[in-house]
Each structure stands twice: as C-alpha cells, then as structure tokens.
C-alpha cells in the first residue's frame, strides 16, 4: 500500500471529525492527472469544512482544501506533462472531490490551470480562491461598464482574503476605494493596500432603510445579509454591486427600491463553477495586475501541521488577508 500525508474528514454520529492521516493512494478519486501538491491555502470555506460548522463537505471520507498548487507527476491529458506547474481552485475540490490538504491529488486535467508565466506555486496560493474571486468581482463590475470615473467603490470584509485582494486590485486600477472593516486596528494595513477611506462595518451591519444617501458607484461585498442590503441602498444611480460572500449571513433583507428607483445592479459572483475561459482570463489578469509587494504584505505562510488551528481562526474573523500552506 502506498500512502501520503493528508487531513481526512470523516462523518460520525456526532458530526464530522478532521485529523491527519496516512491516506491510501488507491483511494484517490477519478482523474487523468496525478500531482504532487506543494502548496495550498486557507479560505473561509475550508474553515467551515474542517470545523463542520456548515455542511460544505458532501462526500466522505474527504480531504479538505479547496485550493492546491503543485507539480504534475503523471498525466493522461495531452495538455499537461510530468514536471508542469499547475494550480486548481473550485470545481468542488475539498467538497465533493478529494482536495488540497494532502501531499497528492488526482483530478481531471480540465480543472487545472497552468501556473501563469513567472508565477510560483506559493504566489498562486497566496492568491488562491479568495484572490481569484476578488478578480472575478472586479471583472463583473467592468463587464457592467463600471470605471473609476463613476465614483468610489466600497469593499466589505476588507481585511479578509477576498477583501484584501479586492482593495489592492481596485486601488491599482485607479478606484477611490472605501474599505469597510470591523477591525479598526487594520486601518493602516488597508491603507497600505491602497484604501483611501476606512468605514466601520457597524455602519452597515444593522437593518437599514430601503434607500439611503448615494455614497458609492460600485461595491464588492463578501458579507451578505444587512450589509449587502445597505450597500445596495446607498449605491449611486446606475451603479453595481458584486456579491460573493456570506460572512455576516446568507439572508438578503433588502427591498427592490435600489433596483427600480436607481437602476442599481446586483451582480452574483461564483468562483467554483466559473467557466474555463473566464478562469484563464482571471489568472492572467492576476499575474499582470496584482502588485507582488502588496500580495506579500497580506500573506502569511503556515506549515501543513497548523491547518486545523488556522481553520478555526478564519471562522472567528481573526485572520488578516491570506494564509498559504506549505505542504512540503
């Protein structure tokens, strides 16, 4: 039996358990590419999977980890050959297909993205699902025709993973970025990423009016619930908000007023099932547009052994920016 180190989630009568194990290679799932995983990362969803706080894992046993990067070992897909550097986010990895918190992975080649020119596996995972999603949100606003000339943009959950990358990308593109955070101590950090204004998230998190003063032309929301409702209510005429997260809640206690009286658009953004063409475009934009120094500023690297502790911290909202895992 050939084994590799992995975190394994099992279902028990009491819920789920997550522990390190020697995983049998024969138990890897279907796929035409086998890789050695060198790096992964920690996203909010990984926190939910490891703690079992929300039922994101839908197959047992599961190896969590919705992101992975590594080196191709064997490939039946002509697009990849042994030694190629690749990355993978989404596609149900870590939820329905064995994921990235492991020394090995086997996946369909069609899910893999070649590492962009000059991008290391560590940098790809510093970006990870969170950074990729931030770029998808920026692209959604752009497709809607939004530009910095329309006015300010607000980012909620700004000190988190999606938020930090969104702030850096929007500032680099010339937007006046308003960063909403519940952590005033991170104001200097957010200004360092390019935020022009800091807003206390308590201004947005309580039930609000159907329409308020027009404060921003665009928004990227990672929080949902009352926060998203307030974002919509305070968006300028013909503005747009890209919604991608639920850190406050999955509900949306809003009215239709911003849509029917101000032509505000609500743009949904999902990273998991994102079509391949858009996926490749987003990664090439990230390689080009995301400032390396700013990415380094928002990134911390942890050892494989520390994932379980970090998973609890991300749900507690105490993780700043991005966390890379060295699988090693």
Which parts of this chain interact with ligand NDP (CB under 6 A)? Answer: 43-45, 129-130, 133, 157-163, 181-183, 201, 205, 222-223, 227, 244-248, 269-272, 314, 317, 319
Are the C-beta atoms of residues 66 and 102 closer than 8 Å to each other?
no
Element (H, E) at 324: strand 322-326
Long-range (24+ apart) CB contacts under 8 A made by 172-175 are: 172/289, 172/290, 172/291, 172/294, 173/138, 173/148, 173/289, 174/148, 175/148, 175/218
Are the C-beta atoms of residues 83 and 71 closer than 8 Å to each other?
yes
CB of 180 to ligand NDP, least distance (A): 7
CB of 284 to ligand NDP, least distance (A): 19
Distance of CA 92 to the CA centre of its chain: 14
CB of 50 to ligand NDP, least distance (A): 13
* Comparison of 38 and 227: residue with beta carbon closer to ligand NDP: 227
User: What are residue 194's phi and psi, to 5 degrees?
Assistant: 120, 5
CB of 129 to ligand NDP, least distance (A): 5
* Comparison of 38 and 129: residue with beta carbon closer to ligand NDP: 129
Cα distance between residue 81 and residue 191, in whole Å? 43
For residue 130, give the nearest of 192, 54, 66 by alpha carbon.
66
Are the C-beta atoms of residues 168 and 196 closer than 8 Å to each other?
no
For residue 180, give the nearest of 163, 205, 155 by alpha carbon.
155
* Comparison of 37 and 134: residue with beta carbon closer to ligand NDP: 134
* Comparison of 222 and 235: residue with beta carbon closer to ligand NDP: 222
Distance of CA 217 to the CA centre of its chain: 23
* Comparison of 40 and 181: residue with beta carbon closer to ligand NDP: 181
* Comparison of 28 and 247: residue with beta carbon closer to ligand NDP: 247
CB of 133 to ligand NDP, least distance (A): 4
Shortest-Cβ-distance residue relative to ligand NDP: 160
* Comparison of 121 and 314: residue with beta carbon closer to ligand NDP: 314
CB of 270 to ligand NDP, least distance (A): 5
CB of 165 to ligand NDP, least distance (A): 8
Q: Calculate the alpha carbon distances from 82 to 72, 240, 252 in Å.
A: 5, 44, 47
- The two beta strands, 67-75 and 113-114, are unpaired
* Comparison of 9 and 28: residue with beta carbon closer to ligand NDP: 9
Task: Work out the end-to-end distance of the chain between its first and last CA atoms, rounded to an integer number of angstroms.
Answer: 21
Element (H, E) at 218: strand 216-221
CB of 309 to ligand NDP, least distance (A): 15
If you count them, how many residues does the chain have?
328
């Amino acid at each position: 039996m050939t084994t590799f180190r992995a975190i394994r989630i099992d279902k028990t009568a009491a819920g789920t358990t997550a522990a390190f194990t020697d995983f049998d290679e024969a138990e890897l799932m279907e796929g035409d590419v086998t890789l050695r995983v060198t790096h992964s990362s920690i996203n909010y969803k990984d926190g939910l999977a490891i703690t079992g706080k929300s039922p994101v894992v839908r197959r047992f046993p599961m190896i969590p980890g919705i992101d992975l990067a590594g080196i191709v070992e064997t490939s039946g897909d002509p697009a990849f050959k042994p030694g190629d550097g690749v990355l993978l986010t989404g596609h149900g990895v870590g939820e329905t297909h064995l994921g990235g918190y492991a020394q090995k992975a086997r996946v369909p080649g069609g899910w893999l993205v070649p590492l962009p020119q000059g991008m290391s596996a560590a940098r790809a995972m510093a970006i990870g699902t969170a950074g990729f999603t931030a770029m998808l949100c920026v692209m959604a606003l752009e497709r809607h025709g939004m530009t910095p000339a329309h006015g300010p943009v607000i980012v909620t959950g700004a000190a988190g993973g999606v938020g930090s990358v969104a702030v850096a990308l929007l500032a680099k593109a010339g937007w006046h970025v308003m960063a909403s955070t519940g952590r005033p101590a991170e104001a200097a950090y957010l200004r360092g990423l390019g935020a022009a204004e800091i807003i206390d998230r308590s201004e947005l998190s309580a039930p609000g009016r159907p329409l308020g003063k027009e404060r921003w032309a665009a928004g990227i929301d990672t929080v949902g619930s009352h926060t998203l409702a307030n974002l919509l209510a305070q968006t300028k005429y013909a503005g747009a908000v890209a919604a991608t997260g639920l850190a406050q809640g999955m509900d949306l206690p809003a009215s239709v007023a911003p849509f029917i009286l101000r032509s505000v658009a609500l743009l949904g953004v999902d990273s998991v099932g994102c079509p391949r063409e858009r996926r490749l475009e987003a990664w090439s934009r990230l390689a080009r547009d995301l400032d390396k120094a700013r990415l380094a500023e928002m990134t911390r690297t942890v050892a494989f052994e520390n994932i379980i502790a970090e998973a609890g911290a991300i749900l507690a909202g105490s993780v700043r920016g991005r966390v890379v895992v060295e699988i090693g």
